Structure 1
Amino acid sequence: MATRAKNMLTIAEVLDEIDVPKSTFYRWLHTGRGPKSLKLPNGKRKIRRTDLDTWLSTFENTAA
């Protein structure tokens, strides 16, 4: 279970990593422009590390 927990990020951890305001990130989630997320029964939201990495990779700029 410890490995699974490390693969799940809190919103605070994601915000720290991508350096955007909480309000911006939640707007992205609500408009479908953010990474996939899970809403747990306790109301908290978690982001899988793989989903965040996949989402971030869509913004990579490759030199032509």
Structure 2
Amino acid sequence: MPRPKMLRLSEVLAEIDMSRAAFYRMRARGQAPRLRKLPNGQLRVSRADLDAWWERCEESAA
């Protein structure tokens, strides 16, 4: 089974069209997709987590 796609934070911010500061404000409120910190300190978001977050946002808006 292939490993899940992990996106860099910059890729996530570009996809959701959001600034880093706004993303971290949402994260502080528990409203952002889950970040994973790699051993080298880089941050990643799994594609599955991002897609699930998008679905929750759409449900909230409806």
| TM interval, short-chain normalised | 0.7 to 0.9
The letter of the residue matching 1:4 is R
Query: Which stretches in structure 2 are left out of the alignment for 5+ residues?
Result: none
What residue is the counterpart of 1:50 in the other structure? 48
Give the alignment's TM-score, normalised by structure 2: 0.80
Q: Counterparts in 2 of 1:1-64, with a 5 A limit?
A: 4=3, 7-60=5-58, 61-62=61-62
For this pair of structures, how many residues does the alignment match? 59
Fraction of identical pairs, as percent: 42
Give the alignment's TM-score, normalised by structure 1: 0.78
Computing the radius of gyration over CA atoms, which structure comes out larger, 1 or 2?
1
Distance 1:17 1:29, change over 3 A: same
- How far residue 59 of structure 1 moved from its aligned partner, in angstroms, is 1.5
Deviations 1:9-57 (A, max 9, x none): 0010001100011111122223311011201122111000000000010
Distance 1:40 1:30, change over 3 A: farther
Q: Secondary structure of 1:46's partner?
A: strand
Higher relative contact order (CA 8 A, sep 6+): 2
Please, what is the CA RMSD of the aligned residues?
A: 1.6
